[in-house]
Homo-oligomer: A and B are copies of this chain.
Amino acid sequence: EIVTALSLLAVPGQLKGKQVLITAGPTYEPIDPVRFIGNRSSGKMGFALAQAAQEAGAEVILIAGPVSLPTPTGVQRVNVETAQQMLDAVTAEANHSDIFISCAAVADYSPAKVEANKIKKTTHDKLILELEPTTDIVSSVTSQPDLTLFVVGFAAETRHIADYAREKMQRKKLDMIAANQVGEGQGFAVDDNALQVFWTGGEQLLPLAPKSQLARDLMTLIIERFYAKNSTENS
């Protein structure tokens, strides 16, 4: 109760009147009616960010992949499963949002062909699965010149974190990127995490903390850079 109250004081209604669009969780790309390609995103960070944005006074739309997490109070949730469904949901909301936080671990690849019936083991010795790249959701938003919302991306990397993150920020035309290391008890499906946050002209390390606290710290940074960008553009 005390922690919640303090965080409310830290960001007192700074996002009142703003719409924040957040994606969270994994996507599942079907191979056949029972099998799919998934990833290890728990959705916890995206859900914590949705709660932090709602506490800061925003209207929050949370587009969630398949996760078993309760919806934060006051947040509007849209459930999706595939990368394509997530893209469609983001496209429908992006043009009336002020901030887009792309926190979902969207599948980069999906099977080129979805089998209508379960692939039976007895009919194949080896199985060759052909995967095609999915449409990049965050780039589909930043590549539209009429969309001026503040866009935050995530990078979950197993190595060369800072280099990959800065390159990704530029290539995808992000306003900010939050990078974390995965694969060594950090990142996916755990409660604690640390983030290296980069933006044009700055960076900040958010040290290891519970995802709920980390989300509030990151939201404070996002709010700061969001207003800094808008005051620059309007001056």
Chain A residues packing against B (C-beta within 8 Å): 28, 31, 33-40, 68, 105, 107-109, 112, 117-119, 121, 124-133, 136, 156-159, 182-183, 188
Q: Are the CB atoms of A127 and B105 closer together than 8 Å? A: no
Contact B131 A128 (CB under 8 A): yes
Contact residues in B for A183 (Cβ distance below 8 Å) = 33-34, 118
Total copies of this chain within the assembly: 2
Q: A105 vs B121: C-alpha distance in the bound complex, in angstroms?
A: 13
Query: Bound complex: CA of A37 vs CA of B37, how far in Å?
Result: 5
Query: Is the pair A131, B126 in contact by a Cβ cutoff of 8 Å?
Result: yes
Q: Identify the 9 closest CB pairs spanning chains A and B, nearest first.
A: A127-B131, A129-B129, A108-B121, A33-B183, A38-B38, A117-B158, A34-B39, A118-B158, A35-B39
Also in contact, A37 and B34, with CB within 8 A (given A121-B133, A126-B130, A131-B126): no
Q: Which B residues are in CB contact (< 8 Å) with A156?
A: 34, 118
CA of A183 to CA of B182, assembled, Å: 34
Tell me the bound Cα distance from A132 to B121 in angstroms: 10
Residues of B within 8 A of A36 (CB): 37-40
Specify the chain B residue showing the minimal Cβ separation from A160: B117
